[in-house]
Chains A and B, each alone.
Chain A
Amino acid sequence: MKNELELKVQAWLDGELPDHEARRMGEWIARDSEAAALAAELGCVKKAMFRHETAVALGESREFYWSKIQRQIQREAGVRRSRGLPWYARLRKYMLPLTGMAALACMLLMAVVRSGSPAFDEISSTGEGMEAVTFHDQSAQMTVVWLQDNSPAKVDQAAQKSIRYEDEPGTVIDLQ
Chain B
Amino acid sequence: MRSATRVLLSTFLLAAAAASAGDMKLEAHLVWGTNDEKGGPNCKPVDAELAAKLHGMLKWKNYFEITNQTASIPLNKTQDLKMSDHCTIRIKNLGGSRVEISCIGEGKPVDQRVETLTPPKWLVWGGDSKHDTAWFVGLRSDDAKAGDANTVISKN
Contact = CB atoms under 8 A, between A and B. Distances in A.
Interface of A: 59-61, 63-64, 117-118, 120-127, 130, 132, 135, 137, 140-149, 158, 161-163, 165-166, 169-176
Contacts of B30: 173
B152 interface: no
A121 B114 contact: yes
A169 B40 CA distance: 8
A6 B39 CA distance: 56
Nearest to B135: A173
Contacts of A61: 56-59
B32 A142 contact: no
Interface residues of B, number: 47
B130 interface: yes
A149 B66 CA distance: 22
Main secondary structure of the interface of A (DSSP, over half): loop
Contact of A165 (B43, B103, B115): B43
A149 B109 CA distance: 12
Nearest to B35: A59
B155 interface: no
B130 A163 contact: yes
B83 to A, nearest CB: 8
Contact of A175 (B56, B106, B112, B131): B106
Given A165-B43, A170-B42, A147 B127 contact: yes
A176 B114 contact: no
Contact of B105 (A59, A124, A125, A175): A175
B123 interface: yes
A109 to B, nearest CB: 14
A140 B56 contact: yes
A146 B66 CA distance: 19
Given A173-B87, A175-B127, 20 more contacts: A64-B57, A64-B59, A121-B98, A121-B114, A123-B113, A127-B110, A130-B111, A140-B57, A145-B124, A147-B111, A147-B127, A158-B130, A163-B32, A163-B130, A169-B42, A171-B40, A173-B32, A174-B86, A174-B135, A175-B84
17 contacts: A64-B59, A118-B114, A122-B113, A122-B114, A124-B111, A124-B112, A126-B112, A140-B53, A141-B121, A143-B122, A147-B103, A147-B127, A148-B128, A163-B130, A169-B41, A173-B129, A176-B128
